[in-house]
Structure 1
């Protein structure tokens, strides 16, 4: 989504919507795959036949409002990470944690700048006194740490050094995601391919950042955006125009020249 389908202002390009109608009319499944929560993605795209969501970096797959697959974080990873964030903040770091439950996301940092930033990605969010206590009766799909500095070189390595029973991935310049071991967009995509009876060579995938790597590996037709992280550009088979140029739309149109447009009476 961010840096891939969405433009630099965070909007879906206008040219995408007629393309989506053409894809669904042709029986082609379209899957928004994102580190964002399902509720946020659903608010952007809604429910349509042929639309499936890979949310929370692959830890949740949803169709028609029902869960096809879910991989919660191990309980043993949650409390130590929450405590590490609190301690690091007390030492002066500009960090915030989002505990991403299946029902809602939980935050305990309350300044307006952080809350506004979180709401960009999480439509369902609760401000609570204690994120760990608040999530005890919810499936925690992901722990997202916001780092106002450089996540790739600072908080990412530090969190990996904690030795948590979880995978740690840098999902953006300011975000580190902590998830169930082995969970990622690629594993979710492979499971979805099996569920649908779709092969790797029948799959196109687009990405721009480190949390897209395994998803690109799972697609026979993998595209890195022109604005992608260098390692993602090296990993993909093709390059799409940048997100600012609606590269996802133009690449799909180019790859499917016989896709018939919806006829408007």
Structure 2
């Protein structure tokens, strides 16, 4: 880890869960004045998340200057306009859905979310599962058959909830299907399946080109395996203290944990001119 201070930051991308958000899954109140001052200074802030765009937009509202990297990099949206969309290879959808159905029927606590550009779709409707899904998907429909729903939307991602063994069971099992897809462990209980090469880092690079901002003018924050490429795409990468060990090893800097408002602390340390009027 280096201790140098970024000099000319024009773009800041941050993961949400486990990184920016607090223990209750909320944006810390201390972040809002920092965000307002970032935007006033012409610095682009990018929520970069596995959450869908509709969910992120509901959290941040209609602030001009925000760009969203949603669905783990498969959907980039600026001012309500889609900049880039990465849909899954259609042939992967049925095999993944059928694997989840059969594995759940054998007793595993699994559920699938088919993540479309318009809405997310689930067919498991018990209260416990829906409670796990709803925080990430503001646009959510419970349907009889997610495969039928797939035909009427652009499918950006398939997300599998595994209550106990996402990294050791679901991830390896889906990889073993040999499908043309990238399989990413995006949280303790979540596995995401996307188009090959689609990730937060690729999206950040696309955004840098779109905005004319360089890698060295970019900060990025993350905590989990789906943040690997995001950190690689930023000249100034930060792992929060609670991050997965491989992410801590990957990042150039370490930030305090999400519980200690590590994103806020690190932004103000790197850009001290934002701090004086915050008190």
Residue 44 of structure 2 corresponds to residue 29 of structure 1: yes
Cα pair 2:268 2:275 within 8 Å, conserved: no
Aligned to 1:67: 82
| Alignment correspondent of 1:128 | 143
RMSD: 1.2
Q: Give 3-state SS (helix, strand or coil) of 1:244's partner.
A: helix
53, 73, 78: which one pairs with 1:58? 73
Normalised to the residue count of structure 1, the TM-score between the two structures is 0.98
Contact 2:201–2:230 under 8 Å retained in 1: yes
Is 1:201 paired with 2:216? yes
Q: 1:133 to 1:22 in 2, by over 3 A?
A: same
Change (3 A) 1:233 1:118: same
Match for residue 7 of structure 1 among 9, 19, 22: 22
Distance 1:110 1:256 in 2: 46
1:128-183 CA deviation, whole Å, 9 max, x = no partner?
Answer: 00001012110000000000112111110010000111100000000000001000
2:195 to 180, 189, 197: 180
Instruction: Indicate if the aligned counterparts of 2:34 and 2:274 stay in contact, CA closer than 8 A.
Output: no
- 2-structure distance, mates of 1:93, 1:152: 14
The answer to whether structure 1 residue 18 and structure 2 residue 33 are counterparts is: yes
SS in 2 for 1:154: helix
> 3-state SS of the aligned residue for 1:68?
strand
Of residues 76, 79, 103, the one that matches 2:94 is: 79
Which residue is 2:63 aligned to?
48
Cα deviation for residue 81 of structure 1 reads 0.5
TM-score norm. by structure 2 comes to 0.93
What are structure 1's unaligned runs of at least 5 residues?
none
Q: Which residue number corresponds to residue 153 of structure 2?
A: 138
* Structure 1 Cα separation of the partners of residues 131 and 24 of structure 2: 15
The separation in 2 between residues aligned to 1:240 and 1:31, in whole angstroms, is 18
Deviation at 1:261, TM superposition (A): 6.0
Change (3 A) 1:242 1:75: same
Residue in structure 1 matched with residue 105 of structure 2 by the alignment: 90
Query: Where has structure 1 moved over 4 Å in runs of 4 or more?
Result: 260-263
Instruction: Tell me, in whole angstroms, the C-alpha distance in 1 between the residues paired with 2:150 and 2:92.
Output: 13
| Correspondence for 1:158 | 173
| Selected match of 1:229 from 241, 244, 247 | 244
Secondary structure of the structure 2 residue equivalent to 1:163: coil
- Structure 2 portions without partners, runs of 5+: 1-15
Q: Distance in 1 between matches of 2:211 and 2:24?
A: 33
Question: How far did 1:29 drift?
Answer: 0.1
| Equivalent residues, number | 264
Task: Tell whether 2:204 aligns with 1:215.
Answer: no
